Amino acid sequence: MMKYLQRSCITILLTGFFLNAVHAEPKTGLEPFNFKKAYFFNFYSVCPLPSGEVWVVGSHGIICCYHKESKQFFVQDSGTLNNLYSVSFVDAKKGWIAGQRGLIIHTDDGGNTWVRQESNTSEHLFSVCFKDSKTGWIIGAYGTILHTSDGGSTWVEQGEQPDIIYNQVFFLDNETGWVVGEFGTIHHTENGGKTWEQQNSPLAEKNLFSVFFKDKYQGWIAGMDGDILETSDGGITWTQLESPMKENLFSIYLVQDSGWVVGLKGVYATLNNGTWVDATTCMPTRAWLKQCFFLDANNGWLVGSVGTILFTEDGGRTWMPPWQRAKE
């Protein structure tokens, strides 16, 4: 029963079309994203940059980029109707997106063109993490861990590919990283993924969805049923924290002493003086929330189902849709 519940959690990620035709034609023009029809899309990943651009990706091949000058999101041509699950940019020009059926696409011109990279897998890819323009990792279904050291020109498999869904990959630098997933899976590497060591979760086989580290020692994991784990020794030991949440938590993020976590039914908690506090009443939606990402202690973005894109400028005390900023 537990395994059924864990695998059922991933179904929210596997809706949409299954087409693989990806091309790289120059844009003929930018179309503003129509927020009146936003409910047609589920957004799975967000990547804001210090330069002001914000990238969001989601179902049916949607890619949107926020332009700070116009205060609007514009739709880019991904060339696919595959669901796009994760996006990672290292600067305003270079970015990678991972999605359904082994799909990896890359841009080095800020999204003017998106080019498919050969992943050598047909498994769904759920999380991508790049630390510079050359070095990155992508993880996904059936224990898939892919690594590149040449910007994605070649992707090679790492690890043993067990029958486990990996949900998120997180690297501090080009050597130190973690992967979390089904059945309490926590893997850690200190050599860029050449070898991965298992770390033990106190939650047994409960699914883990998101991992974040502030440094090599302090880290957090969010998982099923509102569970939050913490480590102060790099994951040698993980401790279950008291959590005010009961729903599955899909994304956790921390900046200095501030923290945020989001999940199903619009649940939302913040870290207050070392304690996680339910702040769901601050959230203007009850859609499931897939990812949050903060640039600093005040400015952050999050995305979720039925077209949810929200931002905060006050550390998460209030959240607003970007079309509201465009009217200012």
On the CB side of 142, how many CA atoms lie within 13 Å of its CA?
A: 7
Query: For residue 1, what pLDDT band results from cuts at 50, 70 and 90?
Result: very low
Q: What is the mean pLDDT of residues 34-39?
A: 91
Instruction: State the residue for tokens 């921390």.
Output: 254
Q: Which two tokens stand for residue 123?
A: 């498994």
Q: Which two tokens stand for residue 117?
A: 């990279």
- State percent of the chain over pLDDT 70: 90
Instruction: Output the pLDDT for position 127.
Output: 98
Helix H, strand E, coil C: the string for the chain is: CHHHHHHHHHHHHCCCECCCCCCCCCCCCCEECCHHHHHHCCEEEEEECCCCCEEEEEHHHCEEEEECCCCEEEEECCCCCECEEEEEECCCCCEEEEEHHHCEEEECCCCCCCEEECCCCCCCEEEEEECCCCCEEEEECCCCEEEECCCCCCCEECCCCCCCCEEEEEECCCCCEEEEEHHHCEEEECCCCCCCEEECCCCCCCCEEEEEECCCCCEEEEEHHHCEEEECCCCCCCEECCCCCCCCEEEEEEECCEEEEEEHHHCEEEEECCEEEECHHHCCCCCCEEEEEECCCCCEEEEECCCCEEEECCCCCCCECHHHHHCC
pLDDT reading at 212 higher than 70: yes
Q: What is the mean pLDDT of residues 196-208?
A: 97
Instruction: Output the pLDDT for position 86.
Output: 98
pLDDT per residue as tens digits for the range 280-304: 999 999 999 999 999 999 999 999 9
pLDDT reading at 30 higher than 80: no
Instruction: State the residue for tokens 């796009």.
Output: 84
Instruction: Output the pLDDT for position 11.
Output: 40
Domain boundaries, the chain: 2-326
Query: For residue 27, what pLDDT band results from cuts at 50, 70 and 90?
Result: very low
Query: For residue 327, what pLDDT band results from cuts at 50, 70 and 90?
Result: low
As a whole number, the mean pLDDT across the chain is 91
CA angle 136, 140, 141 (to 5 degrees): 155
Q: What is the pTM of this model?
A: 0.91
From the list 98, 109, 121, 117, the residue with the least C-alpha distance to 45 is 98
Paired sense of beta strands 63-67 and 104-107, if any: unpaired
Q: What is the mean pLDDT of residues 13-34?
A: 50
Most confident listed range (25-34, 63-72, 127-136): 127-136
**CA 182 to CA 204: how far, in whole Å?**
10
Q: Does domain 2-326 have CATH number 2.130.10.10?
A: yes
Burial annotation 159-194 (CB, 10 A radius, 16+ → b, else e): beeeebbbbbbbbeebebbbbbbbbbbbbbbeebbe
Q: Which is more confident, 327 or 241? A: 241
Instruction: Output the pLDDT for position 10.
Output: 47
pLDDT per residue as tens digits for the range 49-81: 999 999 999 999 999 999 988 889 999 999 999
pLDDT reading at 114 higher than 50: yes
Measured in degrees and rounded to the nearest 5, phi and psi for residue 325 equal -70, -35
pLDDT per residue as tens digits for the range 148-175: 999 999 999 998 889 999 999 999 999 9
**CA 152 to CA 137: how far, in whole Å?**
9
